[in-house]
């Protein structure tokens, strides 16, 4: 690959890493500030559930961007066994977190059908 392409890919990868980390930090701060404001208006119990769900969405979005950066870096810049192992670990963590956060937000695993109100 030409050096210019490699340099562009490095910049794109670094940008994605910065965006992913920024999404995690900014999302946490914004979600926490909303939770504090809502807690004063509606009480802690109702605000807590929405806070957990908003944090879960924030983490999932931030991790998606970080995984994309890692995939790009691993497949184009650093095709070593170590970088492939790191990518596999990141994807496993992302998948596990995704499943558990869906369970946390909806009360069911991603592969389960939604419960109908009639069955309850």
What residues does each domain of the chain span?
Answer: 3-119
- Residues 109-113: what's their mean pLDDT? 79
| 112: phi then psi, degrees, rounded to nearest 5 | -90, 145
Average model confidence (pLDDT) for the chain? Answer: 85
10 Å CB burial of residue 94 (0-12, 13-18, 19+) is: middle
Give the global pTM: 0.75
Torsion angle, alpha carbons of 94, 113, 115, 56, to 10: 10
Question: So what's the pLDDT on residue 23?
Answer: 95
Look at residue 118 in the predicted model and tell me its pLDDT.
46
Phi, psi angle pair for 108, to nearest 5°: -150, 160
Q: Which residue has the higher pLDDT, 36 or 119?
A: 36
Rounded to an integer, what distance in angstroms lies between the CA atom of residue 13 and that of residue 16?
A: 5
């Amino acid at each position: 690959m030409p050096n210019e392409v490699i340099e562009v890919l490095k910049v794109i990868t670094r940008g994605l890493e910065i965006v992913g980390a920024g999404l995690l930090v900014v999302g946490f701060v914004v979600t926490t500030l909303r939770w504090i404001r809502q807690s004063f208006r509606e009480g802690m119990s109702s605000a807590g559930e929405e806070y957990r769900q908003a944090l879960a969405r924030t983490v999932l979005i931030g991790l998606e961007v970080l995984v994309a950066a890692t995939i790009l870096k691993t497949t184009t810049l650093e095709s070593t066994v170590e970088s492939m192992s790191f990518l596999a670990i990141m994807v496993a963590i992302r998948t596990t977190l995704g499943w558990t956060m869906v369970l946390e937000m909806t009360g069911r695993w991603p592969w389960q059908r939604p419960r109908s109100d009639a069955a309850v």
